[in-house]
A and B are shown apart, each in its own frame.
Chain A
Amino acid sequence: MSAAPASDGPIQAQPIAPLVANAAPLVLLVGNPNVGKTTLFNALTGQRARVGNYPGVTVDRRSGTLETSSTHEQRTPLLATVVDVPGAYSLCGRSTDEQIAINAVLGFGGNPQPNLVCVVMEAGQLSRNAYLLLQLCELQVPLLMIVNMIDEVDDQRPNLETLSTLFGVPVVATNARAGEGIDPLRDAIFAALKHPQIPKLHIDYPALTQADADRIVADLPAAWRTSIERDRALARWALSSIDTDDELEAIPIDLRRAVLTLQQETKNQDGAAEHPRDWDREIITARYGWIDRHFPSIYKSQAPSVSRVERLTDRIDRVLLHPVYGFAIFVAVMTLLFQALFTWAQPAISVTEDSVAFLQSLATDLLPAGVLRDALVEGVLGGVGNVVVFLPQILLLFVFIGLLEDSGYMARVAYLMDRVLRSVGLHGRAFVPMLSGFACAIPAIMATRTMERRRDRLLTMLVVPLMSCSARLPVYSLIIVTLFPASRLLGFIPLQGLLMIAMYLFSTTMSLVAASVLGRTAVKGRRVPLILELPRYRRPKVRGVLRMAAERALSFLREAGTMILACTMILWVLLSFPKAPQATSVPSAPVASASIQTPQAAPAAKTPIEYSLGGRFGKAIEPALKPLGFDWKIGIGLVGAFAAREVFVSTLGLVYGLDDSKNDDRSLREKIQADVRADGSPRYTPLMGLSLMLFFALACQCMSTLAVVRRETRSWRWPLFMFAYMGTLAYAVSFTVFQVGQLVGF
């Protein structure tokens, strides 16, 4: 490792160049989930976190810069790069997600080689946390132990010196939430970087296990091999992780073959034996055997005591997981979350919309009229508006999720809802994203990050857009109010309200059905049995939560925002060019009112939008839309709605030749109701309205959703798949409803 990171010498093209060029040494924070790793990361790195990606997987890699504390004797501050590795209970695993930790620790799979690995442990759960620690010790990486949340074990404090001698690595106690022990930790990290300490301990594995591991060692790729102890540890990792059906990546073929052969041999030998051998059990019990033998020595009193936090957690859980009160509180919390997204975000959304509108009118007034002005006002500013309008909901949702996660309640949500969601193949943690989908799919899709497994994330992402988001509401209400009578069923149930509720129930049902079907077909990877840790309740750290929410919002702006902006501009071009032959053909108010009186005259006056490419496209697809009951006007509306679903309403207004000042719901409703065929029958019937609503409920009419899915999956494959499956579903359902409805005689 480079001890003097501040000075990078002239040797840049040498083989060691990567180390020199990237002068700051690399420090990893590794640990079980819920041990306060992220809080510790924030405390160590201050406000400077960079969010990147692990090679090959769509998991955030948060890194930041650590500086020596001001009290340090060195005059120029030393720097180190700290990376927050996703929480893991073990280095073994069968999926790519579980491979991240071992790849990061060993510098495999395109990851940079770390100079120091800091193991973060929860003071109250040392024995369970020690399992991961033992694996790291066996791999002989330079280690530093961090015993976090030390404040929670007043009554049974571990002896840190004993712990340090036991493993042969330095130990630092911290309370990251309160910022205690951070400066000593900083010094310890730089001291450990200067004099890295490789842990020394010996675990007795059964002779047969050891022999098996030794056989595998011979098949490890040469690049992996160093010392015999580490080779054996890698062989044990291979024995535990590689299987006939694992999803691990970049496992050398020789190694895989060797493990599978050995597995088969062992199975054949043991076929007749009373107790067949089991590598997992042999290896894991040997490690826990070591822990159970040595850990009592680090505590003064042997009597196991229940800590304050544990008692408190138990007391809270008695209420929050209670069959009656627990559910009531759960419903209340989720209602609050929903209310926040649906209602509280509204003022902020209005403010952003108004400011964009203000900027647009300002630009209209200041700039000379022309194509350039229109491009700036409607394309660029409109696009920016399309992006920033999501920010209030994204921020709000992530603040909520942060609070739920940090307090420990999110795991309880999964616990309470698992029974319901697993019946359709979703993870219990999918509940919050699904619920948020009623407000907007964009933050909801971003919220799928709370799930660890790629399969769970992907499946949730694919079905969230089927939940009826708030952008569909104006479309539903336009159709319902315009085309359905305000009558009452059985004399007291308002038909219009009933229809609205029915649309929400329909969309929820469809998304659950879709999850169940897609989970068995399109989304690969089998379901994994649930093992959910219910962490201790803790007061959330507000600053950390806000910081996380801001990071998410920024990454949305940077990555999805640019694409939404580009799409808005393309869509603007499509709906504005080519221009109408002469500007006078823009219908003015008298023409519009005249067309109400003489509807037959309406087709004669062509609105500008009909001349545009998008308008022509909308007309061209009319034959395809006819079986659903839609005409070309709806077709153009659907094209416009791609920018955002609620734009359907204003696009339809443009089609009817309403200019902006007149483009409100009422005049549009009158127009639609007045639109009749040549024989005098209304052009739009309730059946058609139903077909259109179902189409809107199901089709992926939202480029922002596609942009966010593309950003979250880092490929075009899934957004395209989503567009295709939702479009097909929408077409099929609308087709069936309209055709059957006509046959039945509606």
Chain B
Amino acid sequence: MLTWNEFENHYQLRYKLCMTLDQAPLAQPVVVQEVGGERAFRRRIMELGLIPGTVARVLRVAPLGDPIEIESRGSNLSIRRKEANNILVAPKSAQTRTAR
């Protein structure tokens, strides 16, 4: 059973504050909630450190609108919007589970 706080947290993240990484505001730290998408992508991006609880930032968007550049764990990665759309994130302030 979830405690009330956990439930509220869960509810807020799931239905209110969550967004996908491609919609995250530029330069704002966000916390990864869920990583979805095709298995090969999901596994590789998690292996690169983007696991639930990790803080990431969208640094910039490529001049032609795609891909986007994100920063996490001190490394800069570039992924396409289509895949970023499968990564669920929440603003850092709304989150308690965090890691560097």
Contact = CB atoms under 8 A, between A and B. Distances in A.
Interface string B38-57: 11111111111101101000
Interface string B44-73: 111111011010000110111111010001
B6 to A, nearest CB: 14
B62 A284 contact: no
B94 interface: no
A683 to B, nearest CB: 49
B77 A418 contact: no
B78 A534 contact: yes
A415 B67 contact: yes
Nearest to A533: B77
Contacts, number: 119
Q: Which 3 pairs from chain A and chain B are nearest by CB? A: A419-B64, A529-B41, A323-B63
A485 to B, nearest CB: 41
A321 B45 contact: no
Interface of A: 89-90, 92, 94, 124-125, 127-128, 131, 240, 243, 280-281, 284-285, 288, 292, 304, 310, 313, 317, 321-323, 326-327, 411, 415-416, 418-420, 422, 528-535
Contacts of B42: 280
Contacts of A304: 74, 100
Given A280-B46, A284-B51, A419 B74 contact: no
B79 interface: yes
B25 interface: no
A529 B63 contact: no
A415 B78 contact: yes
A287 to B, nearest CB: 9
Contact of B69 (A124, A327, A415): A415
A327 B35 CA distance: 32
A534 B63 contact: no
Given A128-B73, A529-B83, A532-B77, A240 B43 contact: yes
Interface residues of B, number: 38
Contacts of A420: 64
Contacts of B1: none
A284 B75 contact: no
A710 B42 CA distance: 35
Contacts of B47: 89-90, 92, 131, 284
A89 B73 CA distance: 14
B67 A281 contact: no
A134 to B, nearest CB: 11
Nearest to B99: A292
B61 to A, nearest CB: 9
A531 B64 contact: no
A128 B62 contact: no
Contacts of A94: 39-40
Nearest to A532: B78
A531 B43 contact: no
A280 B39 contact: yes
B80 A418 contact: yes
